Amino acid sequence: MRIESFIGLRFLWSPRQDRAVSVITWISGVGVMLGVAALIVTISVMNGFRTNLLITVSGTTAHVRLLPQEGVLTAQAEAELLARIQAVPGVEAVAPYLSRQAFLRVEGQFRAVQVRGIDPTLEPQVTELARFIHGDRFSDAESPQTLLQGLRSAPGGGSGILLGAQVARSLGLLVGDDVQIISPVQRQTPIGPVPLIKRLRVVGLVETGLGGTDDVLAFVDYRIAQHLFRLDGVAGLAVRTADPLGIDALDWQRRFPRLRVLTWAQENKNVFQVMRLEKLGLFVIMTLIIVVSFFNIISSLVMLVLEKRKEIGVLKSLGATDGMVRKIFLMQGFWIGTLGTLSGLTLGLLTCWVLATFDIVRLPQGVFPLANRLPVQVEVWDLLAITAASYVICLTVTLFPATQAARVHPVDSLRHG
């Protein structure tokens, strides 16, 4: 151990003439510990909500969607586009996509919905839809994959439909009930134009916790959607990538200049910008808590300099330089910051583990389908940033008392000590 560190520790732990200095020093360390712990817990909870929101959004939205500027993709155009998409690095899966507006009718009740035509076999490879599908008390034993396959062949015959949970509740529908879907496309008959109507059976409910999904969407097999809307192709292709956070929309647009490219980040831009700003704001606010505790470090070290003027004079008379004295008090701030930061890291990680393991904070039913307790996700880069910020602030606020100690004149300190 270097002499500066040794003397700094001796000054820090040796009995004090003024007990108030010792009390302030301990308060400083505890303040750093609580500030670091609070910052870790807050940021980790924000990370948990962000990750789970990403999973929720990807439940009904593909990472990338490629749509023609006009019309639909014919079978030949779809096959050619599929081959080009699969050649893009990072693409994991591709599925057909179709979306149109229609009406649901149940015993005189009408409800406007956004009908999504999907491939029940390929859709689970592209989105997380299967994670949000459930039945009721009669069909919960069936797996989400089984409920998805019911879009092609519903129990009891015919085709099935998946409804957003709020849509089903508003119409009083349960799994196993029949519903009529009315297309805005009309067909000509001897008595005049008549809207296309298809009777489907509810095979499951989709509940993501997002209002724009649960009270708007209805999912059918894309072949049924083609028949309802008189289309000879699909509206586009949905793509899943290995790195959804690293999607470059401009790069995709350059690769497919004649198509419209929509990414999940563009479609949910406002939500994730708000969460990013909230995380930054919380980081700044919680860092201020640590800054407040560091003012206690300044006051305790200033009082320590006044108390140790005689010892500083002795050290300088024995040959200690101003730089050595400055390092001694910098090391005291370093040790206070080290003990406070490491204790805060331990306390913060322990708190995160408790929140993630036990039902300390339960979420309201139906608000967040993926979890019943507070989501917590600890990221290494956040821990490093918090630790670095704590040390930087600690050493910065220690500069003033350390500089004051280095300016102590040995003759004056010994004469008046």
pLDDT in tens, the chain (417 residues): 566 666 666 666 555 554 555 666 777 778 788 888 888 888 888 888 877 777 777 667 888 999 988 888 888 888 899 999 998 998 999 999 898 999 999 988 889 999 999 998 888 889 888 888 877 644 555 677 777 877 887 776 678 899 988 899 889 888 888 999 988 887 766 766 777 888 999 988 888 877 677 888 899 998 898 888 888 888 889 999 988 878 888 889 999 988 999 888 787 777 667 767 777 777 777 777 767 766 777 777 777 676 666 766 676 676 767 777 777 777 777 777 788 888 999 999 999 999 888 877 777 665 565 667 788 888 898 889 888 888 887 778 777 777 777 776 665 555 555
Tallying the residues shown for the chain, one arrives at 417
- Cβ-based neighbours of 331, under 8 Å, separated by 6 or more: 4, 5, 8, 9
Do residues 413 and 309 make contact, with C-beta atoms less than 8 angstroms apart? yes
At residue 13, the pLDDT reads 59
**Strands 217-221 and 91-106: what pairing?**
unpaired
d(CA 261, CA 250): 9
In the prediction, which pLDDT does 138 show? 46
**Is there a contact between 260 and 252 (Cβ–Cβ < 8 Å)?**
no
Quick count: other Cβ atoms within 10 Å of Cβ 378? 18
In this prediction, residue 350 carries a pLDDT of: 94
Helix axes 309-317, 269-307, angle to 10 degrees: 80
Q: What pLDDT, on the 0 to 100 scale, is given for residue 351?
A: 92
d(CA 140, CA 133): 10
Q: What is the pLDDT of residue 346?
A: 93
Contacts of 100 (CB under 8 A, 6+ apart): 114, 115, 117, 183, 184, 225, 228, 229, 235
Is-contact 391 341, C-beta < 8 A?
Answer: yes
Nearest to 330 by CA among 9, 46, 18, 80: 9
Could you tell me the pTM of the whole model? Answer: 0.69
